[in-house]
Amino acid sequence: MNKNVFIIGSGFSSLSASCYLAKVGYNVTVIEKNSSLGGRARQFKKDGFTFDMGPSWYWMPDVFDRFFEDFNKSRSDFYELEKLNPAYKVFFGKNDSISIEDSLDKIKEIFEKEEKGSSVQLQKFMDEAKNNYDIAVKDMLYKMPGISPLELITKKTIFKVKSFISNIRREVRKGFKSHRLKAILEFPVLFLGAKASNTPAFYSFMNYADFGLGTWQPKNGFFDVVSSMVKLGESLGVKFLINSNVDSIEVTNNEVDAIVINGIKHDCSLIISGADYAHTESLLDQKYRQYSDKYWSKKTWAPSSLLFYVGFNKKVPNVAHHNLFFDTDFEKHAQDIYDHPKWTKDPLFYANFTSITNPNTAPKDCENGFFLIPIATNLEDNEDIRNKYFDIIIERLEKLTGEKLKKHIIFKKSFCVNDFEKEYNSYGGNAYGLANTLMQTAFLRPKLRSRKVKNLYFSGQLTVPGPGVPPAIVSGKLVADLIIKNEKNI
Ligand SMILES: Cc1cc2nc3c(=O)[nH]c(=O)nc-3n(C[C@H](O)[C@H](O)[C@H](O)COP(=O)(O)OP(=O)(O)OC[C@H]3O[C@@H](n4cnc5c(N)ncnc54)[C@H](O)[C@@H]3O)c2cc1C
């Protein structure tokens, strides 16, 4: 009996699926085109500086813990976690910022100072958010392979119909007047890739992830999670190949029978692709593709990003580990991402300085800065544009921190649309896949199993449940469960 499973890509969904399948006895090989593992969560090191190239916010620690527990392990067997305090700092202007602390009680005090009566509103909002989290993450997430609309209907969701019709923006605006508080409460759904006005109110569970569960940091950075999952996979027998590009998938009679890697053909009995969905389908003959170019072009894509990895030869004062720079018009920037895609004039941006909490990520007395400007997919990308935006954000950072920084930069590396396309085969250079709008939720997302090729499966941020590291880990479990159920005869 041949049980050779090839998994394309080494993002979190692939790593997760590889462990679950290896655990039940499949021979699993993970094939990654790049020279290191982790997909969008790769690590980059230069001159004593260490950067996580993609994800940096460790939210929903219960999902990570549950993954390791499924293998009779504990997360703490692999890496240490620290709860950040402040969780993050939000800048609204010079000498105008709010630090979000590490417990709901402390956050309520901050809210009350900003707007009288808002702590009571916040408690109400968070009670609902927690209830949604319990339903979404504890009840539904692991039971929704996106096959049928009935997956969404449970005894608990029946009472939540209104929260699928209403949206986050409307719910936030019912309770809060301060533009600062509204921006803070609308920020978590940016992780889902759409505007708050286009995200069902049910997704307020992200606010519970933020204020209720808190922001955590693996001791050596997010890459700790990648290394740990690889280590677990290896202990279960998973093989990992790097510098290995999948050139095509060969199908006979609607079944995959071979995969071509770096020009060499390998027999296989099943493929999962954790690479971007449209790219994977381009590896098949036209007749075996389920979704047309038109289908992909009509989707609401989560943003792309302009990223900078920067080494400073001094410490950056007045910033926290995670920082949101909301000192420009949030609304205008969101319109330029989603409604009329173009380079925005005054971008909001995000920056982290992990060397503040872990000095090992930068040389002594230096700081590593990761900067992210969310942008629409498919935008024109060239060096001049990148440099122009770098100058904009560094000047803003100098103004907001009151410190000269530009002359202290000892190196900078940028990453944008062209790199997302080239390095990850990402559609339109998307950073986070498909947004979680109402029309792109659950069974309305691209399917985990191909309708046209029997033994071809998909995982990752374009499938269920959606964008983000915790959903990618869950997606790996969902696809593995589906395979174990469907492919008993392999
Ligand atoms: C800049 C950035 C910041 C983010 N921040 C956060 C955050 O703070 N918190 C959070 O939870 N999430 C965050 N995310 C989202 C999160 O990183 C992703 O949702 C998740 O990592 C996606 O995992 P995935 O399994 O879909 O695979 P991916 O990470 O997309 O990996 C797919 C892999 O497939 C490989 N591949 C593609 N084509 C081929 C081929 N032909 N042959 C071989 N290999 C191939 C690619 O090289 C890639 O390694 C961020 C993402 C980005 C880009």
Domains of the chain, residue spans: 4-47+54-76+220-298+433-486, 105-209, 300-424
Question: Which atom of ligand 1 is least distant from the CA of 56?
Answer: 8
Whether this prediction's pTM lies above 0.85 is answered by yes
CA of 395 to the centre of ligand 1 (A): 30
CB under 6 Å to ligand 1: residues? 8-14, 31-34, 39-41, 54-57, 245-246, 274-275, 279, 305, 307, 372, 424-425, 431-433, 460-461, 467-469, 472
Mutation probe of ligand 1 site: the residue of 29, 40, 262, 354 with most atoms within 8 A of C-beta:
40
Q: Which of 303, 273, 396 is nearest to 345 (CA)?
A: 396
Q: Which residue has the tokens 């290995």?
A: 244
Classify strands 27-31 and 239-241 as parallel, antiparallel or unpaired: parallel
Lowest-confidence pick of 45-54, 154-163, 208-217: 154-163
Which residue is closest in CA terms to ligand 1's atom 33? 9
Q: What are the pLDDT digits (tens) for 353-369?
A: 999 999 999 999 999 99
Q: What is the mean pLDDT of the chain?
A: 95
Report the alpha-carbon distance of residue 218 to residue 221 in Å, rounded: 5
pLDDT tens-place string over residues 94-143: 999 999 999 999 999 999 999 999 999 999 999 999 999 999 998 799 99
pLDDT of 489 strictly over 70: no
Mutate which of 445, 469, 478 to test ligand 1's pocket (most atoms within 8 Å of Cβ)? 469
Homologous superfamily of the 4-47+54-76+220-298+433-486 domain (CATH): FAD/NAD(P)-binding domain (3.50.50.60)
For residue 415, give the ligand 1 atom closest to its CA: 1
What is the rounded CA–CA span in Å between residue 425 and residue 1? 34
* Cβ-contact 329, 294 below 8 angstroms: no
Domain 300-424 has CATH 1.10.10: no
* pLDDT tens for each residue of 280-320: 999 999 999 999 999 999 999 999 999 999 999 999 999 99
pLDDT one-digit tens code per residue, 439-472:
998 999 999 999 999 999 999 999 999 999 999 9
Residue-wise pLDDT for 27-65, tens only, equals 999 999 999 999 999 999 999 999 999 999 999 999 999
Q: Quick one: which atom of ligand 1 is closest to the CA of 31?
A: 43
